[in-house]
Amino acid sequence: MRYLYGPIPSSRLGQSLGVDPVPLKTCNWNCVYCQLGRSTPMVHERREYVPRAAVIAELKEALAGGIGPVDWVSFVGSGEPTLHVGLGWMIRAAKAETTLPIAVITNGSLLYLPEVREELCAADLVMPTLAAADEQVYRRIHRPHPEATFARQVDGLAAFRKLYRGQFWIEVMLIRGLNDDAATLDGLARLLRALAPDQVHLTLPNRPPAEPWVMPPDDEGLMRAVSILGQWAHVVHPAGGAFALPPGTPLVDGIIDIIARHPMSDGQVRALVAQDAPGEVEAVLARLAADVRAQVIERHGTCFWIKAGSVFGGNGHRPNVAVQEPVTQNTAI
Structural domain contains residue 81: yes
Are 302 and 265 within 8 A, CB to CB?
yes
Q: Cα separation of 175 and 153, whole Å?
A: 19
Q: In angstroms, what is the C-alpha Rg of the chain?
A: 19
Q: Which residue has the higher pLDDT, 278 or 323?
A: 278
- 200 has a pLDDT exceeding 50: yes
Please state the domain count of the chain.
Answer: 1
Which string of DSSP letters, residue by residue, matches 134-170?
A: SHHHHHHHH---TTS-HHHHHHHHHHHHHH--SEEEE
Structural domain contains residue 231: yes
Beta bridge partner(s), residue 170: 200
- 328 has a pLDDT exceeding 70: no
Structural domain contains residue 312: no
pTM of the full structure: 0.86
Structural domain contains residue 323: no
* pLDDT of the residue at 241: 63
* Residue 330: band (very low, low, confident or very high) from pLDDT cuts 50, 70, 90: very low
Whole-number Cα distances in Å, 210 to 59, 113, 323: 30, 28, 11
User: For residue range 250-270, what is the model confidence (pLDDT) as tens digits?
Assistant: 899 989 988 888 888 898 899
On average, the pLDDT of the chain sits at 89
* pLDDT of the residue at 49: 96
Structural domain contains residue 140: yes
Q: What is the DSSP letter of 214?
A: -
The domain in which residue 28 lies consists of 4-307
Structural domain contains residue 328: no
* pLDDT of the residue at 239: 58
- 306 has a pLDDT exceeding 50: yes
User: For residue range 34-81, what is the model confidence (pLDDT) as tens digits?
Assistant: 999 999 889 999 999 999 999 999 999 998 887 778 999 999 978 999
Residue 109 is part of a domain; what is its CATH number? 3.20.20.70
User: For residue range 221-254, what is the model confidence (pLDDT) as tens digits?
Assistant: 999 999 999 888 888 876 556 677 777 788 999 8
Structural domain contains residue 31: yes
Q: Which of 70-79, 111-120, 133-142 has the lowest mean pLDDT?
A: 70-79
Structural domain contains residue 317: no
Average pLDDT over residues 308-327: 54
